[in-house]
Amino acid sequence: MSRARLLEAEPRALAEAAEILRAGGLVAFPTETVYGLGADATSDAAVAALYAAKQRPAHNPLIVHVAGRAAVEPLARLDGRAERLAARFWPGPLTLVLPRRADAPLSRHATAGLATVAVRVPAHPVALALLEAVRLPIVAPSANRSGRVSATTARDVAVDLGEVIDLVLDAGPCPVGVESTVVDLSEPDRPVLLRPGGVPRAALEEALGPLAEPSADEERPRSPGRLASHYAPSLPVRLDALEVEPDEALLAFGDRVPRGAFATFNLSPSGDLAEAARRLYALLRAADRSGAKRIAVVPIPAEGLGEAIRDRLRRAAAPRPTRESAG
C-alpha cells in the first residue's frame, strides 16, 4: 500500500525530519488543523517536488508556515489589522494573506507568482518544534492528493502520499480537523474571508469588523482552495438529506439520523460542531470505503465551525472537474 516511513513524533524523529527538510525533501507532519506536507519554502526544487507529489496545479499558491510572528517579518508586510489578528490568534488555525516583501527569501513557486503571501503560525506542538528545529519557512499544503479529502491521521497521509514522500511524523489525530481560516488583508480597506476554517467568523469579526466575501473573479486566482470541487471523496455526495436510500452511506449529526442507510457515521452524536469538525475527514473517508454507492449528509448547522464544515461538504458535493482544473 505505502512505502513512506511513519515515525512517532519524538525528538529523534523530529531531528531527522528537520534534516530531510533542510536537504530539500518532503515531510508530512501534524498541525492542529490537518496533516501538512512540508517543504523548504526558500528552495525552488523542493517546492517543485511538493507540487509534483500532490499533483497540485502550479497556479494554486501555498501557505508558508513559521514558528512565530518574528519569522514573518522578512516575508511580508503587516499592517495594524494583521498585527491585531496575529497577536490574538497565533499560534493557531488562522492564515493571513499579506503583501509579500519584494526581497522575501521565498521560492516564486511557493506564491504562484503572486504579489501576496499566505502565512500561518500553527499551534500544534510537533509543528512548532519542527519549525523551530528547521529554522526555515516551510510551505505546507494539506497532505492529500490535490482535490481529494484532507488527512487528519498519519495513516491517511501514508495511504494517499506514501509512495512519494520521505517521512510521515505521527502524533495522532488532529485536534481541530478542518483547515485554517484564510483572511486576505492585502487590500487596505477590505478584509476578505477567502476560506472559512478553524477560527470561526464571529471571533474574527469581533477583532476586525465585518469580513467581505470574495467576488467571483477574486475566488479563482486568489484562493483555488475555494474552487468548486475540492475535498472530494471517490463517491458522489448528496447534501441536506432528510431521508436516506438503502445504497447510501449516511453522515449524520446529533439526533439527525434518518434510518435505513447502508452504513451510518455520526459526526457528533451529541451535536457538537467542534467534534464534527474533528471527525469530518476521517468519516468522509470511512463512508467512501464503506461499499455504498453514494454519501448522503444531513443538514449541518451554520454557526461556529459549522460554516467551515458546510463549505467543505459543499465542495465535496460539487461537480467533479477534469484533472487539469483540479485544485
* 62 versus 296: smaller Cβ distance to ligand TXA: 62
User: By CB under 6 A, is residue 140 in contact with ligand TXA?
Assistant: yes
Q: Kindly tell me which residue out of 43, 142, 268, 290 binds ligand TXA, with binding defined by CB under 6 A.
A: 142
Least distance CB 246 / ligand TXA (angstroms): 35
Cα–Cα distance between 162 and 190 in angstroms, integer?
41
The answer to whether 99 and 111 have CB atoms below 8 angstroms apart is no
Q: What is the dihedral of CA 110, 113, 116, 120, to 10 degrees?
A: -10
224 is a site residue for ligand TXA (CB under 6 A):
yes
Choice between 142 and 290, CB closer to Mg ion: 142
Note the Cα 173 to chain centre separation in Å: 14
DSSP string, 107-159: -GGGGTT-SEEEEE----HHHHHHHHHH-S-EE--BSSSTTB----SHHHHHH
- Give min distance, CB of 221 to ligand TXA, in A: 8
Taking the complex as a whole, how short is the minimal distance between the CB of residue 244 and ligand TXA, in angstroms?
A: 30
- Give the interface size with ligand TXA as a residue count (CB under 6 A): 30
Binding partner of 182, given Mg ion, ligand TXA, none, CB within 5-8 angstroms per partner class: ligand TXA
CA separation (Å) from 265 to 193, 279, 304?
30, 10, 21
* Shortest distance (Å) from residue 141 CB to Mg ion: 5
Q: How far is CA 320 from CA 81, 167, 197, 286, 310, in A?
A: 37, 30, 22, 20, 18
Which of 116, 142, 181, 186 contacts Mg ion by CB under 5 A?
142
Which residues make up the interface to Mg ion (CB under 5 A)? 142
Which residues make up the interface to ligand TXA (CB under 6 A)? 31, 33-34, 36, 60-63, 93, 95, 97, 111, 114, 116-118, 120, 122, 140-142, 179-180, 182, 194-195, 222-225
